[in-house]
């Protein structure tokens, strides 16, 4: 019998600035979507699958939330940019802080840089193995 897969957390589309801190570099990037478990962002620097780094989630009017992450996937995002999917490496405290942040985003208390209201979405595969 195959092991059961954990359900994928609901992600919320929300663009906002993030600060990425690695062992050799620091840079700003733009988040595209977020969930309790991870983040998708557009980066000027390609990180490799398995790389670990830190990130600060920056929303206007709210202290930045700093978390650690591990890169799960990467692909080109136009010329000289990369779309990265990362999974947060949570402590009990960071998980609690993410739940609070997600509630603030989903309730509209805080917003990203785009004018659209954040909306939860699930990305479904259109063909096997592809998103």
This model's pTM is above 0.85: no
Domains in the chain: ranges and CATH: 11-112 (2.40.10.220)
Q: For residue range 31-40, list pLDDT tens digits in order.
A: 999 999 999 9
Kindly list the distances between the CA atom of residue 126 and the CA atoms of 38, 120, 129, in Å, as whole numbers in the listed order. Answer: 22, 19, 8
Higher pLDDT, 24 or 93: 93
- pLDDT band per the 50, 70, 90 thresholds, residue 54: very high
Q: For residue range 106-122, list pLDDT tens digits in order.
A: 998 988 875 433 333 33
């Amino acid at each position: 019998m195959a092991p059961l897969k954990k359900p994928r957390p609901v992600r919320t589309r929300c663009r906002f600035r993030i600060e990425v801190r690695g062992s050799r570099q620091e840079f700003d990037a733009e988040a595209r979507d977020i969930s309790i478990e991870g983040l998708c962002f557009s980066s000027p620097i390609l990180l490799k699958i398995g790389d670990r780094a830190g990130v600060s989630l920056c929303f206007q009017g709210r202290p930045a939330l700093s978390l650690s992450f591990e890169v799960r996937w990467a692909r080109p995002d136009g010329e000289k940019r990369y779309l990265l999917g990362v999974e947060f490496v949570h402590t009990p405290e960071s998980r609690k802080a993410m739940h609070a942040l997600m509630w603030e985003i989903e309730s509209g208390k805080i917003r990203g840089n785009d004018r659209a209201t954040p909306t939860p979405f699930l990305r479904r595969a259109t063909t096997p193995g592809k998103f």
